[in-house]
Amino acid sequence: MLDTHPTPLARPARATPGPGHVAAVQVTNLSKSYGAVRAVDGLTMRIEPGEIAAVLGPNGAGKSTANEAILGLLQPDAGSVEVFGLDPRAAVRAGRVGAMLQSGALLADARVIDVLRLMAGLHANPLPLAEVVGRADLGAFLTTRTDRLSGGQAQRLRYALALLPDPDLLLLDEPTVGMDVETRRGFWRSMREFAAAGRTVLFATHYLEEADDVADRIVVLAGGRVVAEGTGDEIRSRVAGRTIALAALDATELDATVLDATDLARLPAVAAVERVGSRWHLHSTDSDRTLRELLRDERVYDVEVTAARLEDAFLALTAPPDTQQGATP
């Protein structure tokens, strides 16, 4: 039986990149269409060795297509992809890439331990099974059949399979879908430890907080292209302005009319007005101007001003071009 709580094996840190080094992932002018749909449209991005990078984008932005190209699973119409300077298929064959895909089918009718043993046999230098099981926290499910695993447990098995080749690059497509909060936390802790020795991690996600918390750098895709990249703070700062939250007295408390969205939208520099519970949120491109006018209104109280959230930036950056507001190029 496996010791399922192993001390992770110490291994030397991987080399820190020097000048002129080879990128972990270099995607250059990549395009791929399906009929009339341009899934990826001139995509260029570079992921450095040792980086933890998140790819964010709305549905259909091209994240999975880019992942498939990085794994050598599709033939691009134009452009190129290199993984550690190699053709993606050569990098995968050399065991340098571990992938966890959304659709990754698991061998049916087999126990978790059998799947792991079978797959370990396909790699030249697999990580010890005990370490993989410990890192993916699969100890309690080793004899469970794959078709009996919950969504979150199946994701952990996919993660274990991605770790097996002891890869230099982990490519994760929405890895925490189906995981509960505790499992998700444990997953990222394990992934960070795994990456700490200089491995590269590239993950696609819809969870903005996750990208912000875990990634060194976020790449935002929309329409098959990069529309922004940087740290969470850098991306937030791309959206000009602030959110002003406020409460308003209702008409019965004052001899006055009710403050409504039209009044608020008329204030200087207000780009958007949103009702959130009992409060109003104003997105302002110049909060000083908005506040000067807003505070003259005696119906307004409990005013808070905050920097734009990553979510605001994401929505502004990925909105179709004719509806974009507030994002600076």
Provide the binding-site residues for ligand ATP, judged by CB under 6 A. 34, 37, 39, 57, 59-65
Least separation in angstroms between CB 227 and ligand ATP: 13
Pick the closer one to ligand ATP by CB: 243 or 318: 318
Partnered with residue 307 across adjacent β-strands are 242
Least separation in angstroms between CB 40 and ligand ATP: 7
Least separation in angstroms between CB 173 and ligand ATP: 7
Pick the closer one to ligand ATP by CB: 103 or 257: 103
3-state SS, residue 205: strand
Least separation in angstroms between CB 64 and ligand ATP: 3
Question: From residue 148, how far is each of 109, 132, 167 by CA, in Å?
Answer: 9, 20, 28
Instruction: Kindly report the three-state secondary structure assignment for every residue of 282-318.
Output: EEECCHHHHHHHHCCCCCEEEEEEEECCHHHHHHHHH
Least separation in angstroms between CB 55 and ligand ATP: 8
Pick the closer one to ligand ATP by CB: 65 or 153: 65
Report the distance separating Cα 18 and Cα 86, nearest Å.
Answer: 18
Least separation in angstroms between CB 60 and ligand ATP: 4
Least separation in angstroms between CB 228 and ligand ATP: 15
Pick the closer one to ligand ATP by CB: 69 or 267: 69
3-state SS, residue 163: helix
Report the distance separating Cα 27 and Cα 223, nearest Å.
Answer: 16
Strands 97-100, 169-173: pairing is parallel
Pick the closer one to ligand ATP by CB: 61 or 269: 61
Pick the closer one to ligand ATP by CB: 65 or 284: 65
DSSP annotation string for 59-103: TTSSHHHHHHHHTT-S--SEEEEEETTB-HHHHHHTT-EEEE-TT
Q: Phi/psi class of residue 191: alpha, beta or left (left: φ > 0; alpha: ψ in -120 to 50)?
A: alpha
Pick the closer one to ligand ATP by CB: 77 or 274: 77
- Which pairs from 261-265 meet CB under 8 Å and 24+ separation? 263/297
Helices (H), the chain: 63-70, 88-93, 112-120, 129-136, 151-163, 181-196, 208-214, 232-237, 261-265, 287-294, 310-318
Pick the closer one to ligand ATP by CB: 67 or 153: 67
